Structures are given as C-alpha cells and as structure tokens.
Amino acid sequence: MADADELKKILAGVFKVPVASIGEQTLMQDIDTWDSLTHMDLILTLENEYGVTFSGEEIVVMTSFAKIAATLAAKGV
C-alpha cells in the first residue's frame, strides 16, 4: 500500500496546501484549490510517482484521500 505520509505530501504539493491540512478523511470539497484542473495534475503526478495508469472510471471516483489510497492499493501500490 502507498505510504500515507508520502501520499499526503503529494496531495499537499499538487494543491499547494500545508501537509498538515491533508488527512485520511480529506475530501475534494475540503481543499479550495482541488478543482478539475488540479485533479488532473494530481492524477498525472500519481501515475508518474507510482508507475500506474488510471482508467476514466477510477479518475472520476478519486475524490478523497481514502478513495485515492484505495485505488492505489487495488493497483498493488
């Protein structure tokens, strides 16, 4: 499974927010800078970081820390 602290750092970097503001219960609507454009930046960053590719269906549901972690875990990350 992807390291939770590393995943928090990635999200914080993409959304330009403090790492402390990212938690395991964080949702898309909790972060003002998490919009459709930064969501795609996040997807590309995760794909590059973990060497995976996400389907359109996966991208649509990856709207929270928990769902992102679960999607990565399903890919063996």
**pLDDT per position as a tens digit, 27-69:** 999 999 999 999 999 999 999 999 999 999 999 999 999 999 9
Q: Which long-range contacts (CB under 8 A, 24 or more apart) does 49-56 make?
A: 49/10, 50/2, 50/75, 50/77, 52/77
Q: What confidence score (pLDDT) does residue 70 get? A: 96
Contacts of 13 (CB under 8 A, 6+ apart): 45
Look up the CATH number of the domain holding residue 9: 1.10.1200.10
Structural domain total, the chain: 1
pTM of the model: 0.94
12: confidence class by pLDDT, cuts 50, 70, 90: very high
pLDDT of 1 over the 70 cut:
no
Residues forming beta bridges with residue 27, ordered by sequence position: 64
Which domain covers residue 58, as residue numbers?
4-74
Rounded distance, CA 45 to CA 42, Å? 5
